């Protein structure tokens, strides 16, 4: 911990998909913890500008960066922009993701590829570029690790999800990507982990909480009895990239109020 008491003081971070939901909360939380933050957005800069303004209003450093994470050249440009502004990169939270839901019999190749391109290939491109940058820069005194990566996965990396086969397959893929990379680069001082959120109230799952009926159905799946907030995930991300988690790599931190505990079995013991 730095003398300021902020765990990420002096560190430089990049968060993808940071103009809304979980990514926005993570960006703000990393900044509160002392990091300068690249705030990636896909299109329309207004929401990213608002996140940047929120960070700057409390004395933090932030930079909006446009990029489609599924586009190789865009990803390289995004890292170049963050590196040019901050001089180095210590933390990457690969958070961008989307859903294109359909029953398997109706799922188009476009829906399949659209989700895999962003949720899995996008993670690959961001993780690969992070590792390249971490390896190319000197180690730092501000962190014990040479670099830290968090991949935003989902409870659906392990819970099958009918009607969302593309999404569940992408998140399962992220898990093996993360574990394989963790094994490969641990010796170079690079840590990489997943966060697997359960049901977090954001735009991506609005239809699961926007009516009382939908809410009640969703709460049956959450033993802890409440829908998660983006800040629940953001606090976990700050810990995972801090030195407090320095011996943690290749693992998944479930932030799900117990959703992955097979809640349907609660009363059948
Ligand atoms: P969200 O829709 O608010 O955020 C997703 C972000 O990704 C958006 O800002 C979007 O612009 C961005 N994005 C989409 N395609 C992109 C691209 N090609 N390039 C760059 N950015 C792109 O939803 P969220 O809930 O905040 O989702 C964030 C992550 O958390 C996703 O990976 C999602 O799968 C995961 N997740 C969410 C929940 C939940 O309950 N909300 C649960 C599990 C996992």
And the tokens for 218? 């969703």
Q: How many domains is the chain built from?
A: 1
187-231 confidence digits (pLDDT tens): 999 999 999 999 999 998 998 899 999 999 999 999 999 999 999
Cβ of 202 below 6 Å from ligand 1: yes
Identify whether 268 is part of a domain: no
Closest ligand 1 atom to residue 167 Cα is 34
Identify whether 63 is part of a domain: yes
Q: What is the residue range of 57's domain? A: 12-257
Number of H helices, E strands in the chain: 8, 7
Domain of 102, CATH number, reads: 3.40.50.720
57-78 confidence digits (pLDDT tens): 999 999 999 999 999 999 999 9
Identify whether 266 is part of a domain: no
Distance CA 70, CA 193 (A): 20
Identify whether 1 is part of a domain: no
With a CB cutoff of 8 Å and minimum separation 6, the contacts of 159 are: 168, 259, 260
Identify whether 267 is part of a domain: no
Distance CA 53, CA 139 (A): 30
Distance CA 248, CA 110 (A): 37
Identify whether 23 is part of a domain: yes
Phi, psi (rounded to 5 degrees) for 209: -140, 0
Question: Cα separations (Å) of 91 from 57, 60, 67, 164, 238?
Answer: 22, 16, 17, 30, 10
Distance 268 CA to ligand 1 centre (A): 35
Identify whether 262 is part of a domain: no
Distance 154 CA to ligand 1 centre (A): 11
Ligand 1, atom 33, residue with closest C-alpha: 97
The catalytic position among 41, 79, 167, 262 is 167
pLDDT tier at 138, thresholds 50, 70, 90: confident
């Amino acid at each position: 911990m730095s003398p300021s008491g902020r765990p990420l003081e002096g560190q430089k971070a990049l968060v993808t998909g940071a103009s809304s939901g979980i990514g926005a909360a993570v960006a703000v939380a990393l900044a509160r913890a002392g990091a300068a933050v690249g705030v990636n957005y896909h299109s329309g800069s207004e929401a990213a500008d608002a996140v940047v303004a929120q960070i700057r209003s409390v004395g933090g450093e932030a930079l909006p960066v446009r990029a489609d994470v599924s586009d190789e050249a865009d990803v390289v440009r995004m890292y170049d922009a963050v590196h040019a502004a901050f001089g180095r990169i210590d933390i990457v939270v690969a958070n961008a993701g989307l859903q294109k839901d359909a029953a398997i019999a109706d799922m188009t190749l476009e829906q399949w590829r659209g989700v895999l391109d962003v949720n899995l290939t996008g993670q690959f491109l961001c993780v690969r570029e992070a590792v390249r940058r971490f390896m190319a820069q000197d180690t730092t005194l501000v962190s014990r690790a040479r670099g830290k990566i968090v991949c935003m996965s989902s409870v659906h990396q392990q819970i099958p999800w009918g009607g969302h086969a593309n999404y569940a397959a992408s998140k399962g893929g992220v898990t093996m990507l993360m574990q394989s990379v963790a094994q490969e680069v641990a010796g170079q001082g690079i840590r990489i982990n997943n966060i697997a959120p359960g049901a977090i109230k954001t735009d991506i799952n609005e239809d699961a909480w926007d009516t009382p009926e939908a809410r009640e159905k969703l709460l049956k799946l959450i033993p802890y009895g409440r829908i998660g907030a983006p800040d629940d995930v953001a606090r976990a991300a700050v810990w995972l990239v801090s030195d407090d988690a320095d011996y943690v790599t290749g693992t998944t931190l479930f932030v799900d109020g117990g959703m992955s505990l097979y809640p349907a079995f609660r009363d059948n013991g």
